[in-house]
Amino acid sequence: MKTYIIVGGVAGGASAAARLRRRDEKARIIIFERGEYISFANCGLPYHIGGTIKNRKQLLVTTPEALKSRFNIDVRTQTEVIKILPDRKTVETKNPDTEETVSVSYDTLLLAPGAYPVIPPVEGSDLHGVFSLRNMNDMDRIIAFINKHNPKTAVVAGGGFIGLELAENLVELEMAVNIVQRGNQVMKHLDYEIASVIHDHMLAKGVGLFLGDAMAAIKKQKDGLEVVLKSNRSILCHMVLTGLGVRPETDLARDAGLKLGSHGGIAVNQYMQTSNPYIYAVGDAVEVKNIITGKDVLLPLAGPANRQGRLAADNICGDKKGFFGVQGTEIIKIFDLSVARTGLAEKDFKDSNIPVGSAVIHPLNHADYYPGASPMTMKLVFSRDRGDLLGAQIVGTSGVDKRIDVLATAIHGKMTVKDLTELELAYAPPYSSAKDPVNMLGFVSENILAGQVKSVYWNDVQELSKNHAVIDVRTPAEFASGAINTAQNFPLDELRSRLDSLPDKPLLVYCAAGLRGYVACRILKQNGFDRVVNLSGGYKTYRLATQKWMQ
């Protein structure tokens, strides 16, 4: 009888254990989990804090008792593996209450230790009222503090997934919230113009943004806490929550002599096997290949961890199944918005030799004549040589999840811009348009590749306006409501009759979202105006991306 030991539960460890049992009914399977809970929905923690998920038990994906009764798995919670002895194929465990240590032998060991939250190394990070959120116990402490002290103000350090979800849920509890983010935008994996849509929405919801700044210290004050920023500004609050991301937990692997990767995670091959053939690793602690760049990355997401756990179990049982890799498909709810991305952002190619292009559009989520249509902002990143799909980002209130999944599948399938134009996607007025927004991304990108129009971007405008005439082809009413400073208004429907009035210089054309600007550029080019460019994403993208978000 073989013995399989798994260190850590949650997504990767628990899925591996269940798969191992389905593959090997006779094996002895033991999970060691140092915490109290073997598998919980850590993505749901902020929503229980905010009260959206009412019942705490709903966060428990499974229990030791359930794993024992259904899968005959020996789950030992509150038991920490403190050492791996690869030469002996043994692990040493410790009970934190009794300090008792026990050695257990294995045939194969699987590591799923996860990651731990980054705690800012600043004075006062250990004060009462300062929290991080990674597990059920962290959540319980935060809820207990809120229930006891009824805080009215909070500072969230970090503008990633956890930080933004915490901010939303604290606002739901009627707190005034400020976010402090070291970079100049929230959600650093997005391109800036897409993140700007989030900035605008969060400010509208009353959340303060301190971008391009960071905590320098946290000080105790009579009525709460004072967060001192590196800019020497201060924010008074009643509680501080840090959401600065996570780091792979690799102490056990390193001490056992296992190879670590360039980013500090556990190095594994395509079979999720470490440098020791009898030890596998999955989840947030491992480095895996990005399918677009071929480079190793850390990607702490539940979906890949689950797939890795299942695949590692198959390989342990004698199969040879390689892990395809990751592309970073993510989605988050931020108040009324859904924000999603897959693949890489345009900025990720800044220092690369890969020539990339991009297209930004602002389509409606379904037919405009059907009630309730709402706008989305969509960006596609593609290679300029062959039109390979490299990444996509979407922000909107509805329809975002459907489109990002289509685009994630397209990237996984190594499709091109042209393939997007040919996709046959489901259409009815309540759900889409005859030309789905995914098709539209393909059309716009195909036009850019074919040279039908030269596109420029919001951050090109300041420089181009020095030698280009800026032409706004929106209606006079739209123009009056706000425009680029140097723009002249030539409404699209009047353009053909006013060609002789256009300035004799290169033209930078724009509209609200990009489509009318494209049509105007085609009219101009076919009437002898060769020096014409269109502003991708139009005035909507330019306005948001050039706003000042600093408090």
- Point out the residues that are catalytic: 43
**Measuring CA to CA, how many Å separate 526 from each of 116, 295, 496?**
59, 45, 11
- Tell the residue number behind the tokens 């399918």, with chain if given: 291
How far apart are the C-alpha atoms of 399 and 437, rounded to whole Å? 10
Q: How far apart are the first and last CA of the chain?
A: 63
How far apart are the C-alpha atoms of 536 and 513, rounded to whole Å? 8
How far apart are the C-alpha atoms of 404 and 330, rounded to whole Å? 9
Q: Are strands 296-298 and 286-289 parallel, antiparallel or unpaired?
A: antiparallel
Which two tokens mark 7?
A: 């260190």
Name residues whose C-beta falls within 8 Å of residue 244's C-beta, 6 or more positions apart in sequence: 117, 118, 119, 120, 157, 158, 160, 163
How far apart are the C-alpha atoms of 158 and 241, rounded to whole Å? 9
Q: Which helix (H) or strand (E) holds 116?
A: strand 115-117
Burial class for 1, CB neighbours closer than 10 Å (0-12, 13-18, 19+): exposed
How far apart are the C-alpha atoms of 301 and 12, rounded to whole Å? 10
Q: Which helix (H) or strand (E) holds 149?
A: helix 136-149
Concatenating the DSSP letter of every residue in 208-266 gives EEEET--EEEEEEETTEEEEEETTS-EEEESEEEE---EEE--HHHHHTT--B-TTSSE
